Chain A
């Protein structure tokens, strides 16, 4: 016995979700990390703390508040309905939004560490060589922060694949729309289908281990910085 069609659908949905979320996380996380690494504003501590909240909060808490925000009576829910998008909870879009919030620190922190580690000198050198700030960001900061981008992207992807609580709160358990691997495993275990659960759970275990092993091997510094 191997994976059935429902399992495969869950795997496909999970990978799709993780890919979309990772791209969005890089797009959103990069400016936040850059700002946190460079600013002297007093707001930076507050912003840093907000970004880090998902690290300590139970996923159900985040899921609960997102549900209220996105629901028909929440401000975001009213907005999305007014825009004709409809309500986000229990849809793929809602899942994406929730995952972005939940995995944000896993992308922002490695990037912030990488931006801080390069210091201001390379940026000053680039400025004295006629590079505008925008030019400097792409030609110097991004290449120098490559380990941070790589570990941020991998951690964001892996963490999205691995989430459960937020997904269940916001996405529910709709086949092909919001039923991801972690939820599917839960269903299998509930139904005492341990063999099915093994295939998926073992796959997740192997996937996570390989990803982390690759990161620790390729970029030991980046991983050390992330934990400190």
Chain B
């Protein structure tokens, strides 16, 4: 028995088959990422007990919520979970305050982990308490739903694409709150998403689901850098680097340091010492045998090739590299690979055309 969340599920629903066996860490955000129909929501619902996979096992540390071999199935309302649905699903007949109190009131006093005030402050909804749900914006509703789930004192927070129903502005409004929760609360979160940017920004641990199977499960950075994943994931391929702001240049650039070198990006407002997560898309990386001269690209770094794999796009390959401690992926044409004779072990230079800052 592990300390974290153990999920073993098998389901056969004719056209859809689910078969996963996961051990997720006790800390941080684990993202279940996959295309629609991959089974990620079903996994989440089964963890909550909203769905039952016969013969399954769901356990958080020593708390066994489902173990059909031993005849254990704890009903949903007796599991210490919080669940945030894609649509906020606030109770329309209750005020925001009564919605927030709904779960809290039902938790025995000695098991309550949060008071109303800090949670409403954390999610920026303290001013909405006396409002009715139908008078709130989509972003406000979803923040209330998240607060409501937290106030039920969960030992595990399950979030099913909480941002998918929101437009870009609302997403940008909520993401910082999710990051604060991540930083300030010691509750493991399982986060279902099909948006690569959300996953790259929030997750610590990544599970890739494809057609009901977990094709990869591991720490975010390592998992994203894998080249042995199904080709359908290769289009979005890219790595995430954890960096620290180390300086601001005079020509409106900022210098970020990561385990493997430094990157230059457009001037950031963050102070020196701030942690920033950034994402480098495989298609924004090009390779050169010698240190490129006479190029407009400022980020040029030495790297070593560790693997080469095929992609879904005809004529293209995915190259896995290592810059110091950090992995990197590059998507290049098969012709370039042949002409430059790129193979594992080769030392070369990477040029990074774009760095997406995620926070």
Which A residues form the contact surface with B (CB < 8 A)?
121-122, 124-133, 135-136, 139-140, 143-144, 146
> Which residue of B50, B75, B93, B148 contacts A129 across the interface (Cβ within 8 Å)?
B148
CB nearest to B80 among chain A residues: A130
Q: Determine whether the beta carbon of B85 is less than 8 Å from that of A125.
A: yes
- Shortest beta-carbon distance from A123 to chain B in Å: 10
A122-B91, A125-B91, A144-B92 given; A131·B102 CB < 8 A: yes
Q: Determine whether the beta carbon of A130 is less than 8 Å from that of B107.
A: yes
- Shortest beta-carbon distance from B1 to chain A in Å: 25
> Which residue of A122, A130, A140 contacts B77 across the interface (Cβ within 8 Å)?
A130
> Which residue of A131, A133, A143, A144 contacts B106 across the interface (Cβ within 8 Å)?
A131
- Shortest beta-carbon distance from B108 to chain A in Å: 10
- Shortest beta-carbon distance from A149 to chain B in Å: 13
CB-CB under 8 A from A130, the residues of chain B are 77-78, 103, 106-107, 152
CB-CB under 8 A from A122, the residues of chain B are 89, 91
CB-CB under 8 A from B239, the residues of chain A are none
Interface residues of B in 238-288 (CB under 8 A from A): none
8 further A-B contacts with Cβ under 8 Å, apart from A128-B152, A129-B102, are A124-B83, A125-B91, A126-B102, A129-B77, A129-B152, A132-B77, A139-B102, A143-B93
A140-B91, A144-B92 given; A127·B76 CB < 8 A: yes
CB-CB under 8 A from A131, the residues of chain B are 77, 102, 106
CB-CB under 8 A from B76, the residues of chain A are 124, 127-128
Q: Determine whether the beta carbon of B85 is less than 8 Å from that of A129.
A: no
Pull 14 A–B residue pairs with CB atoms less than 8 Å apart, ordered by A: A122-B89, A124-B85, A125-B85, A125-B89, A127-B75, A127-B76, A128-B50, A129-B102, A129-B149, A130-B77, A130-B78, A130-B107, A140-B91, A143-B93
CB-CB under 8 A from A126, the residues of chain B are 77, 91, 102
CB-CB under 8 A from B78, the residues of chain A are 130
Number of interface residues of B (CB under 8 A): 23
A122 to B83, CA, bound (A): 12
Interface residues of B in 32-85 (CB under 8 A from A): 48-50, 75-78, 81-83, 85
Q: Determine whether the beta carbon of A125 is less than 8 Å from that of B77.
A: no
- Shortest beta-carbon distance from A118 to chain B in Å: 10
A144 to B91, CA, bound (A): 9
CB-CB under 8 A from A132, the residues of chain B are 75, 77
CB-CB under 8 A from B75, the residues of chain A are 127, 132
- Shortest beta-carbon distance from A42 to chain B in Å: 20
A131 to B105, CA, bound (A): 10
Most buried by A among B49, B78, B82, B106: B106
- Write the B88-105 contact mask toward A (1 if CB under 8 angstroms, else 0): 010111000000001100
Q: Determine whether the beta carbon of A127 is less than 8 Å from that of B50.
A: yes
CB nearest to A120 among chain B residues: B50
- Shortest beta-carbon distance from A145 to chain B in Å: 10
> Which residue of A121, A133, A146 contacts B85 across the interface (Cβ within 8 Å)?
A121
Q: Determine whether the beta carbon of B92 is less than 8 Å from that of A125.
A: no
- Shortest beta-carbon distance from B45 to chain A in Å: 9
- Shortest beta-carbon distance from B110 to chain A in Å: 14
CB-CB under 8 A from B77, the residues of chain A are 126-133, 135-136
A-B pairs, top 5 by smallest CB distance, nearest first, are A129-B103, A128-B83, A130-B106, A127-B76, A143-B93
Q: Determine whether the beta carbon of A121 is less than 8 Å from that of B91.
A: no
CB-CB under 8 A from B92, the residues of chain A are 144
CB nearest to B78 among chain A residues: A130
